[in-house]
Amino acid sequence: MAEERIPTVVADGVHITYRVHGAKGGKGSATSALSRIVSRRPAVGVREVHAVRGVSFASYRGEAIGLIGSNGSGKSTLLRAVAGLQVPSAGRIYTAGQPSLLGVNAALMADLTGERNVVLGGLAMGMSRREVKDVYEDIVDFSGINEKGDFISLPMRTYSSGMGARLRFSIAAAKKHDVLLIDEALSTGDAKFQARSKERIGQLREQAGTVFLVSHSNKAIVETCDRALWLEAGTLRMDGPAAEVVAAYEEFTAKPKPKPKAAARK
């Protein structure tokens, strides 16, 4: 097996730092801002956040990789860097094909009907008008939006959060992806839909290659992924088979402050 593994994403010592404006440590009043301008003290409002610290990994075709870790551990940032939407401040990311973030939500508008959002989302992902037309029925059927009546012709703001999430995932999954990056898409939606999306992720893996999945549901990771990366405070803590990594992570989260004895059970 090791012979014909084709790498899709290679991350080499990746560091990512954000610059955040308006994150002042001191007083944020207008007078203090004015006094800063007058006294020409340099950029107090800018703070750097070191979100990812030296992460290296390689992913191969046909893999589904789960990313786990507590809130703010740098998972989403890392995904954005893989998608090429964030430049690493140090290190490099090499990709085969175009990784795409399952992030159509940003293109959708709550005031428009589901129908128009399907078209808009498809076009935003780079489909042609014809391609959108071809997959339109599939998207609507897959989302199951119309199972309880004609909801697709209602504005999206009238949808429940689960319905919205289902439609978003359905739109995003309608396109063929080389490397698909999914950030917390499956946490909403009922059991039936979760099963269906799991199946869809499987299909996407067969078609194209690699699927990355960020989720706080350990169960979803174990069931959909064969490998997992565990990020903690921006560093890669563990990389291995999904079940093992999740088990270690669960043990870690069970104890709020990891004492040395936490590593004992192995």
Partner 1 sequence: MSGARPTLRQYIGQLWSRRHFITTFATAKLTAQYSQAKLGQIWQIMTPLLNAIVYFFIFGVLLGTKKGVPDYVPFLVTGVFIWTYTSSSVTAGTRAISGNQGLVRALHFPRASLPLSLVLQQLQQLFFSMCALVVILVAFGQYPRFHWALAIPALICQSLFCAGISLIMARLGAKTPDIAQLMPFILRVWMYTSGVMWSVEKLAGSHEGIPSWVVMALRCQPAAVYIDMMRYALIDSFHANQLPPHVWALCLGWGLLFFAGGFVYFWRAEESYGRG
Q: Is the dihedral of CA 241, 246, 251, 252 positive or negative?
A: positive
Shortest approach of partner 1 to residue 75 CB, angstroms? 15
Return the number of the residue (10 or 247) whose C-beta is nearest partner 1.
10
Sequence-distant (≥ 6) Cβ neighbours of residue 106 within 8 angstroms: none
Shortest approach of partner 1 to residue 76 CB, angstroms? 10
Positions in the binding site for partner 1 (CB under 8 A): 18-21, 80-87, 92-95, 98-101, 103-107, 109, 111-112, 116, 119-120, 123-126, 128-129, 155
Return the number of the residue (100 or 218) whose C-beta is nearest partner 1.
100
Cβ atoms < 10 Å from Cβ of 162: 12
Return the number of the residue (46 or 263) whose C-beta is nearest partner 1.
46
Closest CA to 221 of 116, 31, 67, 114: 67
Return the number of the residue (158 or 253) whose C-beta is nearest partner 1.
158
Q: In sequence order, what DSSP letters do the residues of the chain get, joined into one string?
A: --TTPPEEEEEEEEEEEEEETT--SS---HHHHHHHHHHT---SS-EEEEEEEEEEEEEETT-EEEEE-STTSSHHHHHHHHTTSS--SEEEEEESS-EEES-GGGG--TTSBHHHHHHHHHHHTT--HHHHHHHHHHHHHHHTGGGGSS-TTSBGGGS-HHHHHHHHHHHHHTS--SEEEEES-SSSS-HHHHHHHHHHHHHHHHHTSEEEEE-S-HHHHHHH-SEEEEEETTEEEEEEEHHHHHHHHHHHHHSSS--GGGG---
Return the number of the residue (139 or 248) whose C-beta is nearest partner 1.
139
Return the number of the residue (128 or 160) whose C-beta is nearest partner 1.
128
Return the number of the residue (103 or 234) whose C-beta is nearest partner 1.
103
Shortest approach of partner 1 to residue 22 CB, angstroms? 10
Residues pairing with 59 in the sheet: 9
Shortest approach of partner 1 to residue 261 CB, angstroms? 42
Shortest approach of partner 1 to residue 219 CB, angstroms? 26
Shortest approach of partner 1 to residue 148 CB, angstroms? 23
Shortest approach of partner 1 to residue 146 CB, angstroms? 21
